[in-house]
Amino acid sequence: MKLNEYKKVENLNYIEYCDYLQDKYGIGLCDYMRPNWTKNPKITRTKEGLYAHHKYENCAIMLSHPEYAMNRSDGRSTGPPEADSRGTG
């Protein structure tokens, strides 16, 4: 990243920066997970120098893990599937 680009993005919050990167590199090539809740290997773009992750993984703990995502797809979770809404189990 060059300095002029850094200056453009340095004050963006996480979601704004994700939006910026999606505009720059394009939206994901496919869904992050397959219908059977396994990570889709087509999501990987490391050959392009990109590390793809779920945009809202910061909102729901371990959202990239099937056992959590299938039960917590609302993005409001703080705990594993067996935990209550406070994440205390």
Host H or E run for residue 6: helix 3-9
Identify whether 46 is part of a domain.
yes
Identify whether 9 is part of a domain.
yes
Identify whether 59 is part of a domain.
yes
Identify whether 77 is part of a domain.
no
Identify whether 82 is part of a domain.
no
Structural domain boundaries enclosing 35: 3-69
**For every one of its 89 residues, what pLDDT tens digit does the chain have, with 9 covering 90 and above?**
899 999 999 999 988 998 998 899 888 778 878 888 888 888 888 888 887 777 777 777 777 777 777 776 554 433 333 333 333 33
Identify whether 19 is part of a domain.
yes
Q: What is the Cα 70 distance to its own chain's centre?
A: 15
- For 53, the token pair is 């992750």
Q: How many domains is the chain built from?
A: 1
Amino acid at residue number 67: E
Amino acid at residue number 50: L
- Provide the whole-model pTM: 0.59
Please say whether the beta carbons of 16 and 8 come within 8 A.
no
